[in-house]
Amino acid sequence: MAPKNNVLARENRIMIDDIKEDIRCIRKDVNNLVNHYSKRLPGWATIIITILGSLVTGLIVASIK
C-alpha cells in the first residue's frame, strides 16, 4: 500500500503547484483588466452624462404628455 500512497502524494503536490501557477496567472489577468477599465471616463464626466441623459428623458416625457 505504501507505493500507492507515495504516488498519490506526489501527484497531489504536482497538481497543487499547477493550481498555484494558474491562480497567479488569473490574478495577473484580473489586475490587468482592472487597470484597463480604470482608465475610462473620469467621475465628473460620468455625472454630467447622467444628468444630461436624465434631462433629455424628462423633456421627452414632458413633451409626450
The cell numbers describing 15, all together, are 497538481
Confidence (pTM): 0.46
State residue 62's pLDDT score.
Answer: 93
pLDDT per residue of the chain (65 residues) written in tens, 0 to 9 = 456 666 688 888 889 999 999 999 999 888 887 766 666 788 889 899 999 999 999 999 999 87
CA dist 25 and 23 (Å) reads 5
Instruction: Enumerate the domain spans of the chain.
Output: 2-64
CA dist 65 and 43 (Å) reads 33
State residue 34's pLDDT score.
Answer: 72
Enumerate residues 6+ apart whose C-beta is below 8 A from 41. 49
